[in-house]
Protein backbone atom coordinates (compact mmCIF):
# COMPACT_ATOMS: atom_id res chain seq x y z
CA UNK A 1 0.00 0.00 0.00
CA UNK A 2 1.40 3.42 -0.94
CA UNK A 3 2.04 6.16 1.60
CA UNK A 4 -0.62 8.33 -0.08
CA UNK A 5 -3.29 5.63 0.30
CA UNK A 6 -2.22 4.89 3.87
CA UNK A 7 -2.37 8.60 4.73
CA UNK A 8 -5.84 8.74 3.22
CA UNK A 9 -7.04 5.95 5.50
CA UNK A 10 -5.13 6.88 8.64
CA UNK A 11 -4.42 10.59 8.34
CA UNK A 12 -0.90 11.97 8.72
CA UNK A 13 -0.71 11.38 12.48
CA UNK A 14 -2.08 7.87 12.05
CA UNK A 15 0.50 7.14 9.37
CA UNK A 16 3.34 8.16 11.68
CA UNK A 17 1.87 6.12 14.53
CA UNK A 18 1.37 3.07 12.31
CA UNK A 19 4.92 3.27 10.99
CA UNK A 20 6.25 3.43 14.55
CA UNK A 21 4.13 0.46 15.65
CA UNK A 22 5.23 -1.55 12.64
CA UNK A 23 8.88 -1.43 13.65
CA UNK A 24 12.05 -0.75 11.63
CA UNK A 25 11.67 0.66 8.16
CA UNK A 26 13.63 -0.51 5.20
CA UNK A 27 15.68 1.93 3.13
CA UNK A 28 13.07 1.75 0.36
CA UNK A 29 10.23 2.60 2.77
CA UNK A 30 12.23 5.55 4.06
CA UNK A 31 12.75 6.81 0.51
CA UNK A 32 9.07 6.48 -0.41
CA UNK A 33 7.96 8.35 2.71
CA UNK A 34 10.43 11.16 2.03
CA UNK A 35 9.17 11.48 -1.56
CA UNK A 36 5.57 11.58 -0.36
CA UNK A 37 6.34 14.34 2.13
CA UNK A 38 8.12 16.33 -0.55
CA UNK A 39 5.03 16.21 -2.74
CA UNK A 40 2.23 16.42 -0.21
CA UNK A 41 3.69 17.12 3.18
CA UNK A 42 3.85 20.91 3.55
CA UNK A 43 4.24 21.73 7.22
CA UNK A 44 4.86 18.10 8.14
CA UNK A 45 8.66 18.04 8.28
CA UNK A 46 8.57 18.75 12.00
CA UNK A 47 6.92 15.40 12.79
CA UNK A 48 8.94 13.49 10.23
CA UNK A 49 12.32 14.85 11.33
CA UNK A 50 11.63 14.17 14.98
CA UNK A 51 10.37 10.69 14.10
CA UNK A 52 13.65 10.01 12.28
CA UNK A 53 15.51 10.83 15.49
CA UNK A 54 13.46 8.28 17.41
CA UNK A 55 13.37 5.43 14.89
CA UNK A 56 14.08 1.99 16.22
CA UNK A 57 16.53 1.50 13.38
CA UNK A 58 18.89 3.82 15.23
CA UNK A 59 22.00 5.12 13.55
CA UNK A 60 21.57 3.64 10.05
CA UNK A 61 18.05 5.02 9.68
CA UNK A 62 19.01 8.48 10.94
CA UNK A 63 21.90 8.71 8.50
CA UNK A 64 19.63 7.75 5.59
CA UNK A 65 17.20 10.49 6.56
CA UNK A 66 19.95 13.05 6.83
CA UNK A 67 21.14 12.18 3.31
CA UNK A 68 17.58 12.39 1.97
CA UNK A 69 16.96 15.76 3.63
CA UNK A 70 20.20 17.40 2.47
CA UNK A 71 19.03 18.27 -1.10
CA UNK A 72 15.98 20.12 0.23
CA UNK A 73 18.22 22.24 2.42
CA UNK A 74 20.40 23.18 -0.54
CA UNK A 75 17.44 24.03 -2.80
CA UNK A 76 15.67 26.00 -0.10
CA UNK A 77 12.40 24.15 -0.71
CA UNK A 78 11.26 24.05 2.90
CA UNK A 79 9.87 26.64 5.28
CA UNK A 80 12.05 28.37 7.90
CA UNK A 81 10.42 26.51 10.81
CA UNK A 82 10.89 23.17 9.07
CA UNK A 83 14.45 24.17 8.29
CA UNK A 84 15.24 24.70 11.98
CA UNK A 85 14.07 21.19 12.77
CA UNK A 86 16.10 19.67 9.95
CA UNK A 87 19.18 21.68 10.92
CA UNK A 88 18.84 20.23 14.39
CA UNK A 89 18.52 16.74 12.92
CA UNK A 90 21.55 17.29 10.69
CA UNK A 91 23.72 18.62 13.48
CA UNK A 92 22.66 16.17 16.16
CA UNK A 93 22.36 12.89 14.28
CA UNK A 94 23.96 13.26 10.87
CA UNK A 95 27.39 14.80 10.92
CA UNK A 96 28.24 13.83 14.50
CA UNK A 97 27.67 10.12 13.89
CA UNK A 98 29.56 9.93 10.62
CA UNK A 99 32.30 12.29 11.78
CA UNK A 100 31.63 14.59 8.81
CA UNK A 101 33.10 17.83 10.15
CA UNK A 102 33.01 19.56 6.76
CA UNK A 103 29.28 18.94 6.35
CA UNK A 104 28.76 19.99 9.95
CA UNK A 105 30.42 23.33 9.31
CA UNK A 106 28.24 23.83 6.23
CA UNK A 107 25.16 23.28 8.39
CA UNK A 108 26.58 25.75 10.91
CA UNK A 109 27.06 28.32 8.16
CA UNK A 110 23.54 27.75 6.86
CA UNK A 111 22.10 28.26 10.34
CA UNK A 112 24.05 31.53 10.70
CA UNK A 113 22.75 32.83 7.36
CA UNK A 114 19.11 32.21 8.19
CA UNK A 115 19.51 33.27 11.82
CA UNK A 116 18.77 29.96 13.50
CA UNK A 117 22.13 29.79 15.21
CA UNK A 118 20.48 32.03 17.81
CA UNK A 119 18.05 29.21 18.57
CA UNK A 120 19.22 27.43 21.73
CA UNK A 121 18.24 23.96 20.51
CA UNK A 122 20.03 24.36 17.19
CA UNK A 123 23.11 25.86 18.85
CA UNK A 124 23.23 23.04 21.41
CA UNK A 125 23.00 20.50 18.61
CA UNK A 126 25.83 22.19 16.73
CA UNK A 127 28.00 22.16 19.86
CA UNK A 128 27.19 18.47 20.30
CA UNK A 129 28.25 17.86 16.69
CA UNK A 130 31.58 19.66 17.17
CA UNK A 131 32.32 17.63 20.32
CA UNK A 132 31.59 14.35 18.56
CA UNK A 133 33.80 15.37 15.64
CA UNK A 134 36.69 16.15 17.99
CA UNK A 135 36.53 19.92 17.57
CA UNK A 136 36.09 21.02 21.16
CA UNK A 137 37.58 24.46 20.52
CA UNK A 138 34.85 25.15 17.95
CA UNK A 139 32.29 24.05 20.53
CA UNK A 140 33.72 26.51 23.05
CA UNK A 141 33.74 29.29 20.46
CA UNK A 142 30.07 28.72 19.62
CA UNK A 143 29.24 28.52 23.33
CA UNK A 144 30.85 31.90 23.91
CA UNK A 145 28.81 33.45 21.08
CA UNK A 146 25.44 32.22 22.37
CA UNK A 147 23.28 35.15 23.51
CA UNK A 148 21.21 32.82 25.69
CA UNK A 149 22.04 29.47 27.26
CA UNK A 150 20.17 26.78 29.13
CA UNK A 151 21.35 23.94 31.38
CA UNK A 152 21.85 21.69 28.33
CA UNK A 153 24.28 24.21 26.83
CA UNK A 154 26.48 24.02 29.92
CA UNK A 155 26.21 20.23 30.08
CA UNK A 156 27.27 19.84 26.43
CA UNK A 157 30.40 21.94 27.03
CA UNK A 158 31.30 20.14 30.26
CA UNK A 159 30.75 16.74 28.64
CA UNK A 160 32.83 17.84 25.66
CA UNK A 161 35.62 18.88 27.99
CA UNK A 162 35.52 15.45 29.68
CA UNK A 163 35.73 13.70 26.29
CA UNK A 164 38.38 16.01 24.82
CA UNK A 165 41.27 13.86 26.04
CA UNK A 166 42.49 16.20 28.78
CA UNK A 167 40.78 14.30 31.58
CA UNK A 168 42.03 16.39 34.47
CA UNK A 169 40.41 18.79 36.87
CA UNK A 170 41.88 22.18 36.03
CA UNK A 171 41.02 25.73 36.93
CA UNK A 172 39.25 26.00 33.58
CA UNK A 173 36.69 23.29 34.29
CA UNK A 174 36.23 24.46 37.88
CA UNK A 175 35.55 28.00 36.68
CA UNK A 176 33.14 26.63 34.09
CA UNK A 177 31.06 24.91 36.77
CA UNK A 178 31.14 28.07 38.92
CA UNK A 179 29.97 30.21 35.99
CA UNK A 180 27.16 27.76 35.34
CA UNK A 181 25.87 28.29 38.88
CA UNK A 182 26.36 32.07 38.70
CA UNK A 183 24.04 32.12 35.68
CA UNK A 184 21.43 30.34 37.79
CA UNK A 185 21.82 26.75 36.58
CA UNK A 186 22.40 24.18 39.27
CA UNK A 187 24.55 21.16 38.29
CA UNK A 188 22.32 18.16 37.62
CA UNK A 189 22.93 14.47 37.11
CA UNK A 190 24.34 14.97 33.62
CA UNK A 191 26.78 17.59 34.88
CA UNK A 192 28.02 15.39 37.71
CA UNK A 193 28.36 12.29 35.51
CA UNK A 194 30.67 14.23 33.17
CA UNK A 195 32.72 15.62 36.05
CA UNK A 196 33.19 12.14 37.54
CA UNK A 197 35.16 11.17 34.43
CA UNK A 198 37.77 13.76 35.40
CA UNK A 199 38.39 12.39 38.90
CA UNK A 200 41.63 10.42 38.72
CA UNK A 201 43.86 9.35 41.56
CA UNK A 202 46.99 9.75 39.42
CA UNK A 203 46.45 13.51 39.21
CA UNK A 204 45.55 13.89 42.88
CA UNK A 205 41.90 14.69 42.17
CA UNK A 206 40.35 11.65 43.85
CA UNK A 207 38.90 13.91 46.57
CA UNK A 208 36.82 15.69 43.92
CA UNK A 209 35.14 12.37 43.21
CA UNK A 210 34.21 11.90 46.85
CA UNK A 211 32.94 15.48 47.00
CA UNK A 212 30.76 14.88 43.95
CA UNK A 213 29.47 11.71 45.58
CA UNK A 214 28.47 13.78 48.60
CA UNK A 215 26.84 16.36 46.30
CA UNK A 216 24.72 13.61 44.73
CA UNK A 217 23.52 12.37 48.11
CA UNK A 218 22.84 15.84 49.57
CA UNK A 219 20.90 17.04 46.53
CA UNK A 220 19.15 13.74 45.81
CA UNK A 221 19.88 14.01 42.10
CA UNK A 222 17.20 11.72 40.73
CA UNK A 223 17.58 9.95 44.07
CA UNK A 224 21.15 9.34 42.96
CA UNK A 225 22.41 5.83 43.40
CA UNK A 226 19.64 5.07 45.90
CA UNK A 227 16.86 5.01 43.36
CA UNK A 228 15.96 4.66 39.73
CA UNK A 229 18.78 6.75 38.26
CA UNK A 230 21.27 4.01 37.48
CA UNK A 231 23.45 6.27 35.30
CA UNK A 232 24.95 8.15 38.22
CA UNK A 233 25.44 4.88 40.08
CA UNK A 234 27.42 3.50 37.12
CA UNK A 235 29.53 6.65 36.99
CA UNK A 236 30.33 6.43 40.70
CA UNK A 237 31.26 2.74 40.45
CA UNK A 238 33.48 3.51 37.46
CA UNK A 239 35.14 6.45 39.24
CA UNK A 240 35.98 4.41 42.35
CA UNK A 241 37.15 1.43 40.26
CA UNK A 242 39.48 3.58 38.15
CA UNK A 243 41.02 4.90 41.35
CA UNK A 244 41.67 1.45 42.87
CA UNK A 245 38.81 1.87 45.35
CA UNK A 246 36.71 -1.05 44.16
CA UNK A 247 35.42 -1.68 47.70
CA UNK A 248 33.90 1.81 47.72
CA UNK A 249 32.38 1.08 44.34
CA UNK A 250 30.89 -2.14 45.73
CA UNK A 251 29.29 -0.19 48.59
CA UNK A 252 27.63 2.07 46.04
CA UNK A 253 26.52 -1.01 44.12
CA UNK A 254 25.07 -2.71 47.22
CA UNK A 255 23.04 0.37 48.21
CA UNK A 256 21.39 0.77 44.83
CA UNK A 257 17.74 -0.25 44.92
CA UNK A 258 17.41 -0.86 41.19
CA UNK A 259 20.27 -2.45 39.32
CA UNK A 260 20.01 -2.92 35.58
CA UNK A 261 22.48 -4.63 33.27
CA UNK A 262 24.61 -1.48 32.99
CA UNK A 263 25.08 -1.27 36.76
CA UNK A 264 26.03 -4.96 37.01
CA UNK A 265 28.42 -4.58 34.07
CA UNK A 266 30.07 -1.51 35.63
CA UNK A 267 30.70 -3.45 38.85
CA UNK A 268 31.99 -6.52 37.01
CA UNK A 269 34.31 -4.34 34.95
CA UNK A 270 35.51 -2.65 38.14
CA UNK A 271 36.54 -5.99 39.61
CA UNK A 272 38.33 -6.94 36.37
CA UNK A 273 40.21 -3.62 36.27
CA UNK A 274 41.43 -4.21 39.82
CA UNK A 275 42.50 -7.82 39.25
CA UNK A 276 39.69 -9.39 41.33
CA UNK A 277 38.88 -12.02 38.72
CA UNK A 278 37.15 -14.53 40.99
CA UNK A 279 34.85 -11.84 42.42
CA UNK A 280 33.99 -10.68 38.89
CA UNK A 281 33.01 -14.20 37.85
CA UNK A 282 30.90 -14.71 40.99
CA UNK A 283 29.12 -11.40 40.37
CA UNK A 284 28.47 -12.35 36.75
CA UNK A 285 26.64 -15.49 37.88
CA UNK A 286 24.74 -13.57 40.60
CA UNK A 287 23.54 -11.08 38.02
CA UNK A 288 21.66 -13.83 36.20
CA UNK A 289 20.61 -16.03 39.12
CA UNK A 290 19.90 -13.48 41.86
CA UNK A 291 18.44 -10.55 39.90
CA UNK A 292 17.47 -12.32 36.69
CA UNK A 293 19.35 -9.75 34.59
CA UNK A 294 20.46 -10.94 31.16
CA UNK A 295 24.02 -9.99 30.19
CA UNK A 296 24.47 -7.80 27.13
CA UNK A 297 27.39 -7.59 24.72
CA UNK A 298 29.43 -5.31 26.99
CA UNK A 299 28.86 -7.64 29.95
CA UNK A 300 30.29 -10.55 27.98
CA UNK A 301 33.26 -8.47 26.84
CA UNK A 302 33.96 -7.54 30.46
CA UNK A 303 33.83 -11.07 31.87
CA UNK A 304 35.59 -13.06 29.13
CA UNK A 305 39.12 -11.91 30.13
CA UNK A 306 38.58 -13.40 33.59
CA UNK A 307 37.90 -16.82 32.05
CA UNK A 308 41.16 -16.62 30.13
CA UNK A 309 43.26 -15.42 33.07
CA UNK A 310 41.76 -18.08 35.38
CA UNK A 311 41.94 -20.73 32.63
CA UNK A 312 38.24 -21.35 33.32
CA UNK A 313 37.41 -23.12 30.08
CA UNK A 314 33.98 -24.29 31.29
CA UNK A 315 32.70 -20.80 32.15
CA UNK A 316 34.15 -19.41 28.92
CA UNK A 317 32.40 -22.07 26.88
CA UNK A 318 29.11 -21.36 28.66
CA UNK A 319 29.45 -17.66 27.85
CA UNK A 320 30.14 -18.55 24.24
CA UNK A 321 26.98 -20.67 24.17
CA UNK A 322 24.97 -17.80 25.62
CA UNK A 323 26.35 -15.46 22.94
CA UNK A 324 25.26 -17.92 20.24
CA UNK A 325 21.74 -18.21 21.69
CA UNK A 326 21.42 -14.41 21.80
CA UNK A 327 22.89 -14.06 18.29
CA UNK A 328 25.84 -12.03 19.56
CA UNK A 329 28.45 -14.44 18.26
CA UNK A 330 29.02 -12.46 15.05
CA UNK A 331 30.12 -9.32 16.88
CA UNK A 332 33.75 -8.54 16.01
CA UNK A 333 34.90 -7.47 19.48
CA UNK A 334 33.20 -10.45 21.12
CA UNK A 335 34.73 -12.91 18.66
CA UNK A 336 38.17 -11.45 19.30
CA UNK A 337 37.62 -11.82 23.04
CA UNK A 338 36.55 -15.45 22.55
CA UNK A 339 39.68 -16.21 20.50
CA UNK A 340 41.85 -14.70 23.21
CA UNK A 341 39.99 -16.56 25.97
CA UNK A 342 40.19 -19.96 24.26
CA UNK A 343 43.87 -19.40 23.48
CA UNK A 344 44.70 -18.62 27.11
CA UNK A 345 42.68 -21.64 28.23
CA UNK A 346 44.84 -23.81 25.98
CA UNK A 347 42.08 -24.88 23.62
CA UNK A 348 43.32 -23.64 20.27
CA UNK A 349 40.87 -25.81 18.33
CA UNK A 350 37.97 -23.76 19.70
CA UNK A 351 39.88 -20.54 19.08
CA UNK A 352 40.50 -21.57 15.48
CA UNK A 353 36.84 -22.51 15.09
CA UNK A 354 35.74 -19.02 16.12
CA UNK A 355 38.40 -17.50 13.87
CA UNK A 356 37.35 -19.49 10.81
CA UNK A 357 33.62 -18.73 11.14
CA UNK A 358 32.58 -17.48 7.70
CA UNK A 359 30.24 -14.87 9.21
CA UNK A 360 33.13 -13.37 11.21
CA UNK A 361 34.76 -10.32 9.61
CA UNK A 362 38.33 -10.50 10.95
CA UNK A 363 40.48 -7.49 11.77
CA UNK A 364 44.11 -7.05 12.90
CA UNK A 365 43.21 -7.96 16.49
CA UNK A 366 41.69 -11.26 15.34
CA UNK A 367 44.86 -12.29 13.53
CA UNK A 368 47.10 -11.09 16.37
CA UNK A 369 45.10 -12.97 19.02
CA UNK A 370 45.35 -16.32 17.28
CA UNK A 371 49.00 -15.81 16.27
CA UNK A 372 49.87 -14.98 19.89
CA UNK A 373 47.85 -17.98 21.05
CA UNK A 374 49.85 -20.32 18.84
CA UNK A 375 53.08 -18.76 20.03
CA UNK A 376 52.05 -19.04 23.69
CA UNK A 377 51.68 -22.81 23.34
CA UNK A 378 54.86 -23.40 21.34
CA UNK A 379 53.19 -23.82 17.96
CA UNK A 380 55.53 -21.51 16.09
CA UNK A 381 55.07 -23.06 12.65
CA UNK A 382 51.30 -22.58 12.84
CA UNK A 383 51.82 -18.98 13.97
CA UNK A 384 54.15 -18.23 11.05
CA UNK A 385 51.78 -19.90 8.60
CA UNK A 386 48.89 -17.80 9.92
CA UNK A 387 51.00 -14.64 9.74
CA UNK A 388 51.88 -15.33 6.09
CA UNK A 389 48.24 -16.11 5.34
CA UNK A 390 47.25 -12.75 6.82
CA UNK A 391 49.68 -10.97 4.48
CA UNK A 392 48.44 -12.94 1.47
CA UNK A 393 44.89 -11.78 2.17
CA UNK A 394 46.04 -8.17 2.01
CA UNK A 395 45.97 -7.41 5.75
CA UNK A 396 48.85 -5.22 6.93
CA UNK A 397 50.53 -6.20 10.19
CA UNK A 398 50.78 -3.79 13.09
CA UNK A 399 53.20 -3.67 16.01
CA UNK A 400 51.17 -6.13 18.11
CA UNK A 401 50.96 -8.66 15.28
CA UNK A 402 54.71 -8.53 14.70
CA UNK A 403 55.42 -8.93 18.43
CA UNK A 404 53.14 -11.98 18.54
CA UNK A 405 54.80 -13.56 15.52
CA UNK A 406 58.34 -12.89 16.80
CA UNK A 407 57.47 -14.28 20.23
CA UNK A 408 56.13 -17.43 18.58
CA UNK A 409 59.32 -17.82 16.55
CA UNK A 410 61.44 -17.31 19.67
CA UNK A 411 59.63 -20.00 21.66
CA UNK A 412 59.86 -22.47 18.77
CA UNK A 413 63.43 -21.77 17.68
CA UNK A 414 62.40 -20.46 14.25
CA UNK A 415 65.14 -17.85 14.04
CA UNK A 416 65.30 -17.56 10.25
CA UNK A 417 61.55 -17.13 10.02
CA UNK A 418 61.64 -14.54 12.78
CA UNK A 419 64.37 -12.54 11.04
CA UNK A 420 62.38 -12.66 7.82
CA UNK A 421 59.27 -11.36 9.58
CA UNK A 422 61.27 -8.62 11.29
CA UNK A 423 62.99 -7.44 8.10
CA UNK A 424 59.76 -7.43 6.06
CA UNK A 425 57.91 -5.52 8.80
CA UNK A 426 60.63 -2.85 8.81
CA UNK A 427 61.19 -2.56 5.05
CA UNK A 428 57.83 -3.42 3.45
CA UNK A 429 55.26 -2.27 5.99
CA UNK A 430 57.02 0.69 7.58
CA UNK A 431 56.76 -0.57 11.16
CA UNK A 432 59.39 1.06 13.33
CA UNK A 433 61.64 -0.97 15.64
CA UNK A 434 59.81 -0.34 18.90
CA UNK A 435 61.15 -1.39 22.29
CA UNK A 436 58.75 -4.36 22.34
CA UNK A 437 59.82 -5.60 18.90
CA UNK A 438 63.51 -5.22 19.75
CA UNK A 439 63.05 -7.12 23.02
CA UNK A 440 61.33 -9.97 21.16
CA UNK A 441 64.16 -10.16 18.64
CA UNK A 442 66.82 -10.19 21.37
CA UNK A 443 64.87 -12.90 23.18
CA UNK A 444 64.63 -14.97 19.99
CA UNK A 445 68.34 -14.68 19.22
CA UNK A 446 69.30 -15.38 22.82
CA UNK A 447 67.14 -18.50 23.05
CA UNK A 448 68.83 -19.89 19.93
CA UNK A 449 72.33 -19.27 21.32
CA UNK A 450 73.19 -16.48 18.89
CA UNK A 451 74.37 -14.20 21.68
CA UNK A 452 76.88 -12.22 19.66
CA UNK A 453 74.27 -11.48 17.03
CA UNK A 454 71.92 -10.38 19.81
CA UNK A 455 74.64 -8.13 21.25
CA UNK A 456 75.32 -6.57 17.85
CA UNK A 457 71.60 -5.94 17.40
CA UNK A 458 71.41 -4.25 20.82
CA UNK A 459 74.29 -1.95 19.92
CA UNK A 460 72.54 -1.00 16.67
CA UNK A 461 69.14 -0.33 18.26
CA UNK A 462 67.72 3.11 17.39
CA UNK A 463 66.74 3.70 21.02
CA UNK A 464 68.65 3.26 24.26
CA UNK A 465 68.24 -0.37 25.37
CA UNK A 466 66.43 -0.62 28.67
CA UNK A 467 67.00 -2.98 31.61
CA UNK A 468 64.56 -5.50 30.15
CA UNK A 469 66.65 -5.91 26.98
CA UNK A 470 69.98 -6.26 28.82
CA UNK A 471 68.34 -8.57 31.33
CA UNK A 472 67.27 -10.93 28.57
CA UNK A 473 70.82 -11.18 27.27
CA UNK A 474 72.16 -11.93 30.75
CA UNK A 475 69.52 -14.42 31.87
CA UNK A 476 68.99 -16.47 28.72
CA UNK A 477 72.46 -18.10 28.68
CA UNK A 478 71.82 -19.58 32.11
CA UNK A 479 68.53 -21.02 30.97
CA UNK A 480 70.40 -22.69 28.12
CA UNK A 481 73.20 -23.99 30.34
CA UNK A 482 75.76 -21.53 28.99
CA UNK A 483 77.84 -20.04 31.78
CA UNK A 484 79.78 -17.45 29.83
CA UNK A 485 78.40 -14.45 28.04
CA UNK A 486 80.67 -11.89 26.37
CA UNK A 487 79.37 -8.37 26.72
What integer is the mean pLDDT of 12-41?
52
Give the integer Cα–Cα distance in Å for 415 and 454: 12
pLDDT value for 373: 94
Residue 102, class by beta-carbon neighbours within 10 Å (0-12 exposed, 13-18 middle, 19+ buried)? exposed
**pLDDT value of position 323:** 93
What b-and-e string marks burial along 231-259, b requiring 16 or more CB atoms within 10 Å of the CB?
bbbbbbbbbbbbbebbebbbebbeebeeb
Q: Is 28 a residue whose pLDDT tops 90? A: no
Residue 69 burial by CB count (10 A; 0-12/13-18/19+): exposed, middle or buried?
buried
Question: What's the rounded mean pLDDT across residues 74-88?
Answer: 51
- Report the pLDDT averaged over residues 294-311: 94
Lowest mean pLDDT among 86-100, 167-181, 188-202: 86-100
Q: How confident is the model at residue 313 (pLDDT cuts 50, 70, 90)?
A: very high
Mean pLDDT of 177-185: 90
pLDDT at 284: 95
Q: pTM here?
A: 0.75
For residues 243 and 201, the answer to whether their CB atoms sit within 8 Å is yes
Residue 322: which of 348, 293, 357, 346 has the closest Cα? 293
pLDDT at res. 21: 46
291-308 burial: b if 16+ Cβ within 10 Å, else e = eebebbebbbbbbbbbbb
Query: Would you say residue 422 has pLDDT above 50?
Result: yes
183-222 burial code (b ≥16 CB/10 A, e <16): eebebbbbbbbbbbbbbbeeeebbebbbebbeebeeeebb
Tens digits of residue pLDDT in 376-420: 998 999 999 999 999 999 889 999 999 999 999 988 989 999 999
Would you tell me the crossing angle of helices 467-479 and 451-459 to the nearest 10 degrees? 180
Examine the pLDDT at 430 and tell me if it is beyond 90.
Answer: no
Cα of first residue to Cα of last residue in the chain, in angstroms, is 84
Per residue in 448-469, pLDDT (tens digit) is: 888 788 888 888 888 787 777 7
Select the more confidently predicted residue: 339 or 460.
339
Contact 412, 381 (CB under 8 A): yes
Report the alpha-carbon angle 47-51-53, nearest 5.
Answer: 125
pLDDT score, position 43 = 47
Q: How far is CA 293 from CA 262, 298, 316, 333, in A?
A: 10, 13, 19, 22
Identify the pLDDT of residue 55.
Answer: 44
Q: Residue 37: which pLDDT band, with cuts at 50, 70 and 90?
A: low
Q: What is the DSSP letter of 220?
A: T
**Residue range 218-260, pLDDT digits in tens:** 887 754 444 446 888 899 999 999 989 999 999 999 988 888 9
pLDDT at 148 over 80: yes
Alpha-carbon distance 153 to 124, whole Å? 6
Q: What is the percent of the chain with per-residue pLDDT over 90, rounded to a whole number?
A: 34
**pLDDT of res. 434:** 86
> Across residues 102-108, what is the average pLDDT?
76
The mean pLDDT of the chain is 78
- Give the confidence band of 299 by pLDDT, cuts at 50, 70, 90: very high
pLDDT confidence bin for 93, thresholds 50/70/90: very low
Rounded Cα distance, 285 and 295, in Å: 10
DSSP one-letter string for 75-89: HT-S-HHHHHHHHHH
Judge whether residue 426 has pLDDT over 70.
yes
Of 101-110, 141-150, 178-187, minimum mean pLDDT range: 101-110
Query: Could you give the count of Cα atoms lying within 13 Å of 166 in the half-sphere of its Cβ?
Result: 11
Report H helices in 256-379: 261-273, 277-289, 297-309, 313-325, 332-344, 348-355, 364-376
Q: Does 302 score more than 50 pLDDT?
A: yes
Amino acid sequence: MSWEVMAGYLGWGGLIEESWRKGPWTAEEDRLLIEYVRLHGEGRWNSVARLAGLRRNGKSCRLRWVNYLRPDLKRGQITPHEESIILELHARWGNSEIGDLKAGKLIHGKSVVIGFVLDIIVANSLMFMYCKCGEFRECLKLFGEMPERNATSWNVVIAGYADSGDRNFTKEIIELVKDMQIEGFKPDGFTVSSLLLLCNNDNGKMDYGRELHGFIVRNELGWGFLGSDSHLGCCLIDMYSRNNKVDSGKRVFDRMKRRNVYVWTAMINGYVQNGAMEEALVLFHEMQVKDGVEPNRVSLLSILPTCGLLADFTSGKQIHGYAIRKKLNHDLSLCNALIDMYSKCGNLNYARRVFEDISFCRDAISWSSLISGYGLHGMGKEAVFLYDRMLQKGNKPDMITVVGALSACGRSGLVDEGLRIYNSAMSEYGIGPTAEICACLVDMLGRSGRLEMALDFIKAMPMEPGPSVWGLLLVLPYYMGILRCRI
